[in-house]
């Protein structure tokens, strides 16, 4: 049988298994192994199945994943989120929709050190939802702001999504971290603008918060101290060349644990929960990575990515149309598949096309993360919306999905901006790492 046809059948079989509910790492391993047998032979497939798990689990570059996950878990159980929210609320609460803007800003800050969109949504939901209800915010706006704000953690570095993309695409993880800073800031501002517009149209949806003195605002800044120290030490050390991304993860995990101790949250229960959650998350990510590499080896021998790239480039359409079509594939599948598996599944297929079009792989990584963010808040499986529904049990799921609509528009606007001005993603990587600017 033609290897290309086997590749197509393999992709279809994988999608069927995923929609049947099979764990994505296992599904990719099974399809990749059987597909490799069909394209080559049994001994070669056994060789791949033997070497890939060992090489992946012992890879030094991938040690950055458990370290940053552990840092996020220590920060989560240290309850840093409540202090970040207090800072944002006292500085931004008096604006129209200020409490919602404060929530989005706090989500972005906490997500940067937590790294999990669902954990950020759950944590900030518990912290900020009661306050928003207290001041009369509508369920739609409050839940929508928290669910959308929770997704910011995978864009603002350090981000596990960027670590996975950098690993799969063989890009510098430090450069990927740098690439997310400007888009992340722009997205926070767009989210804030969305809330401002909603509350201007309907002032009852988000009344102004109470007024604080300058002294109270300045006093609140000490609550942001742990975040500022973590952010500066980790990213400053990585961008400044003082240590690698893996070493930065170790420094961040240690510093986060120290803050846990200083805040008197280092109980045996919290430490055990942090380590347990880190093990579970890391195991899940590594199973996905192993499956992705096995499936990727199968796709390579089937020549499907190369043929797809050749066929796509032969189409008589502008490159922008091709890029938008690729993004639509990510967006549609992102409604059913979580962000991290989606990255390792589709990037090996579409990255060659992007490179042939002359676009920067770094730019592509940022856009992919943005589109996977979109999948976290769009039906039918917008994971952050379901987490929010679990926190706000009395709020109908439809109300939450309706509440994220303005933030979906904000994400689409950012996508258009990045499409028109790709250098926004590559400017900082160019400064810190000499990466090529996007075309």
Q: Which residues contact 130 (CB under 8 A, 6 or more apart)?
A: none
- Answer whether 29's CB lies under 8 Å from 291's CB: yes
Max CA separation in the chain (angstroms): 75
Give me the pLDDT at residue 400, please. 92
Whether the pLDDT of residue 307 is over 90: the answer is no
| Radius of gyration from C-alpha coordinates of the chain | 22
Whether the pLDDT of residue 322 is over 80: the answer is yes
Between 143 and 24, where is the model more confident? Answer: 143
pTM of the model: 0.80
| Mean pLDDT, the chain, whole residue set | 85
Residue reference for tokens 């032979």? 41
Give me the pLDDT at residue 437, please. 62
Whether the pLDDT of residue 116 is over 80: the answer is no
Query: What's the pLDDT band for 249 if we cut at 50, 70, 90?
Result: confident
Between 324 and 313, where is the model more confident? Answer: 324
Mean pLDDT confidence for 348-370: 88
Query: What's the pLDDT band for 187 if we cut at 50, 70, 90?
Result: very high
Residue 272 burial (CB count, 10 A): 11
pLDDT tens track for 232-246 = 888 888 888 888 878
pLDDT tens track for 77-98 = 887 777 777 888 788 877 778 8
Give me the pLDDT at residue 288, please. 80
Cis peptide before 344 (omega within 30 of 0): no
Give me the pLDDT at residue 387, please. 84
Whether the pLDDT of residue 42 is over 70: the answer is yes
- What's the rounded Cα separation, in Å, for the pair 280 and 277? 5
Give me the pLDDT at residue 86, please. 80
Mean pLDDT confidence for 25-51: 91
Give me the pLDDT at residue 436, please. 67
Query: What's the pLDDT band for 1 if we cut at 50, 70, 90?
Result: confident
Q: What percent of the chain has pLDDT over 70?
A: 97
| SS3 sequence of the chain | CCHHHHHHHHHHHHHHHHHCCCCHHHHHHHHHHHHHHHHCCHHHHHHHHHHHHHHHHCCCHHHHHHHHHHHHHHHHHCCHHHHHHHHHHHHHCCCCCHHHHHHHHHHHHHHHHHCCHHHHHHHHHHHHHHHHHHCCCCHHHHHHHHHHHHHHHHCCCCCHHHHHHHHHHCCCHHHHHHHCHHHHHHHHHHHHHHHHHHHHHCHHHCCCCCCCCHHHHHHHHHHHHHHHHHHHHHHHHHHCCCCCHHHHHHHHHHHHHHHHHHCCCCCHHHHHHHHHHHHHHHHHHHHHHHHHHHHHHHHHHHCHHHHHHHHHHHCCCCHHHHHHHHHHHHHHHHCCCCHHHHHHHHHHHHHHHHHHCCCCHHHHHHHHHHHHHHHCCCCCCCHHHHHHHHHCCCCCHHHHHHHCHHHHHHHHHHHHHHHHCCHHHHHHHHHHHCCCCCC
Mean pLDDT confidence for 312-327: 81
- What's the rounded Cα separation, in Å, for the pair 195 and 88? 15
Give me the pLDDT at residue 439, please. 55
- Answer whether 52's CB lies under 8 Å from 293's CB: yes
- What's the rounded Cα separation, in Å, for the pair 387 and 313? 40
- What's the rounded Cα separation, in Å, for the pair 273 and 260? 13
Give me the pLDDT at residue 248, please. 85
Mean pLDDT confidence for 343-357: 84
Give me the pLDDT at residue 380, please. 67
Query: What's the pLDDT band for 275 if we cut at 50, 70, 90?
Result: very high
Q: Which residues contact 69 (CB under 8 A, 6 or more apart)?
A: 115, 160, 277, 278, 281, 282, 285
53-62, 199-208, 283-292, 307-316: least confident range: 307-316
- What's the rounded Cα separation, in Å, for the pair 219 and 151? 29
Q: Tokens in use for 105?
A: 């800003």
- Answer whether 3's CB lies under 8 Å from 305's CB: no
Query: What's the pLDDT band for 145 if we cut at 50, 70, 90?
Result: very high
Q: Tokens in use for 268?
A: 């045996």
């Amino acid at each position: 049988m033609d290897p290309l046809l086997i590749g197509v059948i393999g992709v279809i079989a994988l999608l069927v298994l995923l929609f049947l509910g099979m764990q994505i790492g296992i599904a990719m391993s099974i399809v990749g192994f059987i597909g490799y047998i069909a394209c080559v032979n049994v001994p070669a497939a056994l060789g791949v199945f033997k070497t890939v798990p060992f090489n992946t689990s012992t890879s030094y570059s991938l040690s950055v994943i458990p370290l940053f996950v552990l840092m996020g878990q220590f920060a989560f159980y240290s309850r840093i989120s409540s202090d970040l929210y207090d800072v944002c609320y006292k500085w931004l609460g008096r604006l129209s929709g200020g409490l919602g803007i404060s929530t989005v800003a706090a989500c972005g800050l906490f997500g940067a050190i937590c790294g999990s969109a669902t954990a950020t949504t759950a944590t900030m939901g518990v912290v900020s939802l009661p306050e928003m209800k207290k001041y009369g915010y509508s369920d739609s706006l409050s839940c929508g702001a928290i669910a959308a704000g929770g997704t910011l953690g995978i864009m603002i570095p350090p981000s596990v999504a960027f670590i996975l993309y950098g690993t799969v695409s063989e890009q510098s993880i430090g450069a990927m971290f740098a690439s997310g800073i400007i888009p992340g800031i722009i997205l926070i501002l767009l989210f804030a603008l969305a809330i401002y517009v909603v509350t201007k149209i309907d002032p009852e949806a988000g009344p102004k918060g109470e007024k604080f003195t300058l002294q109270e605002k300045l006093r609140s800044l000490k609550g942001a101290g742990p975040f500022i120290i973590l952010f500066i030490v980790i990213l400053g050390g990585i961008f400044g060349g003082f240590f690698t991304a893996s070493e930065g993860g170790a420094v961040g995990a240690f510093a986060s644990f120290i803050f846990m101790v200083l805040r008197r949250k280092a109980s045996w229960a919290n430490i055990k929960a942090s380590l347990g959650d880190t093990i579970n998350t890391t195991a899940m990510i590594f199973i996905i990575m192993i499956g992705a590499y096995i499936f990727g080896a199968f796709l390579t021998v089937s020549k499907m990515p190369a043929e797809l790239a050749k066929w796509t480039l032969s189409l008589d359409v502008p490159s922008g149309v091709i890029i938008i079509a690729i993004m639509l594939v990510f967006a549609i599948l992102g409604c059913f598949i979580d962000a991290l598996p989606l990255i390792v599944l589709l990037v090996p297929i579409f990255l060659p096309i992007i490179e042939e079009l002359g676009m920067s792989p770094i730019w592509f990584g940022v856009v992919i993360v943005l589109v996977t963010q979109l999948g976290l808040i769009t039906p039918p499986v917008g994971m952050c919306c379901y987490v929010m529904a679990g926190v706000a049990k009395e709020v109908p799921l439809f109300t939450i999905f309706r509440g994220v609509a303005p933030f979906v528009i904000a994400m689409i606007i950012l996508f258009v901006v990045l499409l028109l001005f790709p250098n926004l993603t590559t400017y900082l990587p160019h400064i810190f790492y000499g990466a090529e600017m996007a075309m």
